[in-house]
């Protein structure tokens, strides 16, 4: 087949397709709207220019985009129909999406509502979850790679940077980052070859950040500055840009954009759970589904005190969250929960209803000389509310010890947290777990308290800066006289 001149204003034919119009053009070629001469199906065709097709790596990546999309038959992934790589200008035939990219919509209309953002991103997560199940990592999730139809259906596209977890195809050199800097995970900067599901989760969080704020995360900075900001979680929290956001949305975005990969959701499903606060997991078997979940909003929490004695408390979701917020049960990471008193009990992190109380977004941990992350200690916050009425009946001790993950059994006496007196202060939904040095519920990472160590340090630095400035000014006045 003769080369296709993509520099012309309009092509007439591409293979067995009649070109209708040109949709877009970029460094990797052009995209056309076309119609199959046999079936009449309307499609989108991406054409590589001859100069680009001479690059074997880019040609393999182009073919890989087709292979990845072709095997992922999902309504939220743009379908790949045909590939032709025999001519001087290879082309890829894809499903035509009657709509626009999410990036175009945000650029035109600004931020989306929280409800609309969750609805669209949940669809993207469904498609991306299918890719992850097929051991494929997208590595370039961003608003421009999400198409939205006129019917409001989101479809993930542009799988050119997709990575096969089992076969990298040598398209990425070790130590080279691929993707879009403002939306890619910080570890992907260092080595895109080792990108995993958590890299895509980071990109989902950064995409959602732009959806609800209308702003690109990290602002207009270069790749190096962007990476430095990413590893420190140095960005404006979304709720500061959009005060109408709920605490849960703000926390879910910041958790997904944690510089520390271990603090991010481990799957697209978990990310959607973070956004909704609702468990999405289905029972793995009919046997597991036999114990029906109670219709009432009741939870049972189990922990062991310092003597090894097991205690149980119960309450509604709001009641349990209030008790956790006020640190009535000690170290929340050691508490197990279940909807039924019989168990099995799991750590609170496993339940999206309480996950935001125990998981805090974190920057990338420091590395030692060997390049591995160093561990940091997290002291248990003191328990100052051990004598609250209605709870102290269980035990005089409220600092639980680490209990087993699933074999804990509830004791005979269960205390109802909902019966204890409410505090008179106005409650506010919490979106940052309590910190040992910050009991106000504010975000510790962004708070600078003049009464604390950080505030004192800043005072000293400012004083030194003023002294240095004054010294320089005096020297500038005296120097001409001395000379």
Q: Are 394 and 413 in contact (CB under 8 A)?
A: yes
11 vs 5: CA distance, rounded Å: 8
Cross-strand pairs, 353: none
pTM of the model: 0.71
Most confident range, picked from 125-129, 301-305, 395-399, 418-422: 125-129
- Is residue 422 predicted with pLDDT exceeding 60? no
The token pair at 457 is 């340090």
Residue bearing the bigger pLDDT, 191 or 371 = 191
Model pLDDT, residue 343: 85
Select from 3.40.640.10, 3.30.200.20, 3.30.365.10, 3.20.20.140 the CATH code of 13-95.
Answer: 3.30.200.20
Cis amide prior to 344 (ω within 30 degrees) = yes
CATH architecture assigned to 99-276: Orthogonal Bundle (1.10)
Residue 365 binned pLDDT confidence (cut-offs 50, 70, 90) = confident
The pLDDT mean for the chain works out to 75
Least confident of 131-140, 458-467, 468-477: 468-477
Nearest-10 crossing angle of helices 247-256, 197-213: 140
- Is residue 478 predicted with pLDDT exceeding 70? no
127 vs 73: CA distance, rounded Å: 9
Question: Does residue 140 carry a catalytic annotation?
Answer: yes
The upper half-sphere exposure of residue 239, i.e. CA atoms within 13 Å in the direction of its Cβ, equals: 15
97 vs 99: CA distance, rounded Å: 6
164 vs 157: CA distance, rounded Å: 16
Give percent of the chain with pLDDT exceeding 90.
39
Least confident of 2-11, 44-53, 126-135, 136-145: 2-11
β-strand pairing of 163-164 with 136-137: antiparallel
Least confident of 102-106, 245-249, 349-353, 364-368: 364-368
Model pLDDT, residue 479: 46
Residue bearing the bigger pLDDT, 89 or 246 = 246
Model pLDDT, residue 373: 53
- Is residue 429 predicted with pLDDT exceeding 50? no
317, containing H or E segment? helix 317-325
pLDDT tens-digit profile of 8-35? 455 688 989 999 999 888 767 889 999 9
Give percent of the chain with pLDDT exceeding 70.
66
- Is residue 189 predicted with pLDDT exceeding 60? yes
316 vs 416: CA distance, rounded Å: 9
- Is residue 235 predicted with pLDDT exceeding 60? yes
- Is residue 412 predicted with pLDDT exceeding 90? no
Question: What average pLDDT does this structure show over 274-289?
Answer: 66
Most confident range, picked from 57-71, 176-190, 256-270, 448-462: 256-270
- Is residue 371 predicted with pLDDT exceeding 80? no
Model pLDDT, residue 64: 79
416, containing H or E segment? strand 414-416
Model pLDDT, residue 338: 93
Of 5, 67, 140, 200, which is the active-site residue? Answer: 140
């Amino acid at each position: 087949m003769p080369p296709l001149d993509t520099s012309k204003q309009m092509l007439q034919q591409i293979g067995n397709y009649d070109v209708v119009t040109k949709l877009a053009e970029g460094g990797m070629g052009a995209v056309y709207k076309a119609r199959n001469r046999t079936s009449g199906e309307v499609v989108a065709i991406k054409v590589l220019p001859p100069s680009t097709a001479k690059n074997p790596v880019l040609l393999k990546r182009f073919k890989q985009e087709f292979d990845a999309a072709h095997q992922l038959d999902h309504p939220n992934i743009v379908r790949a129909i045909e590939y032709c790589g025999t001519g001087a200008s290879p082309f890829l035939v894809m499903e035509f999406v009657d709509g626009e990219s999410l990036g175009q919509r945000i650029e035109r209309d600004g931020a989306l509502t929280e409800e609309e953002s969750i609805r669209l991103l949940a669809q993207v997560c469904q498609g991306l979850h299918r890719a992850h199940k097929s051991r494929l990592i997208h590595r370039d999730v961003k608003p421009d790679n999400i198409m939205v139809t006129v019917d409001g259906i989101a479809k993930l596209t542009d799988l050119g940077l997709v990575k096969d977890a089992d076969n990298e195809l040598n398209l990425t050199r070790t130590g080279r980052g691929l993707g879009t800097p403002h939306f890619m995970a910080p570890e992907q900067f260092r080595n895109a070859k080792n990108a995993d599901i958590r890299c895509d989760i980071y990109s989902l969080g950064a995409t959602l950040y732009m959806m609800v704020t209308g702003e690109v995360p990290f602002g207009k900075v270069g790749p190096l500055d962007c990476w430095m900001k990413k590893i420190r979680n140095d960005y404006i929290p979304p709720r500061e840009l959009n005060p109408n956001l709920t605490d849960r949305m703000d926390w879910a975005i910041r958790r997904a954009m944690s510089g520390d990969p271990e603090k991010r959701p481990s799957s697209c499903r978990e990310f959607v759970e973070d956004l909704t606060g609702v468990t999405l997991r289905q029972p793995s078997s009919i046997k597991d589904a036999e114990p029906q979940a109670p219709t009432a909003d009741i939870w049972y929490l189990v922990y062991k005190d310092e003597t090894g004695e097991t205690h149980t408390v119960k309450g509604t979701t709001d009641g349990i969250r209030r008790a956790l917020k006020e640190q009535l049960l000690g170290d929340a990471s050691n508490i197990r929960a279940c909807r039924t008193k019989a168990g099995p009990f799991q750590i609170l992190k496993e339940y999206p209803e309480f996950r935001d109380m125990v998981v805090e977004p974190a920057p990338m941990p420091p590395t030692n000389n060997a390049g591995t992350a160093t561990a940091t200690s997290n002291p248990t916050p003191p328990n100052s509310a051990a004598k609250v009425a209605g709870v102290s009946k269980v035990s005089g001790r409220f600092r639980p010890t680490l209990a087993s993950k699933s074999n804990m059994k509830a004791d005979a006496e269960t205390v109802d947290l909902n019966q204890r007196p409410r505090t008179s202060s106005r409650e506010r939904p919490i979106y940052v777990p309590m910190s040992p040095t910050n009991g106000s519920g504010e975000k510790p990472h962004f708070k600078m308290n003049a009464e604390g160590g950080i505030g004192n340090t800043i005072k000293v630095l400012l004083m030194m800066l003023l002294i240095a400035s004054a010294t320089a000014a005096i020297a500038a006045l005296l120097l001409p006289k001395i000379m």
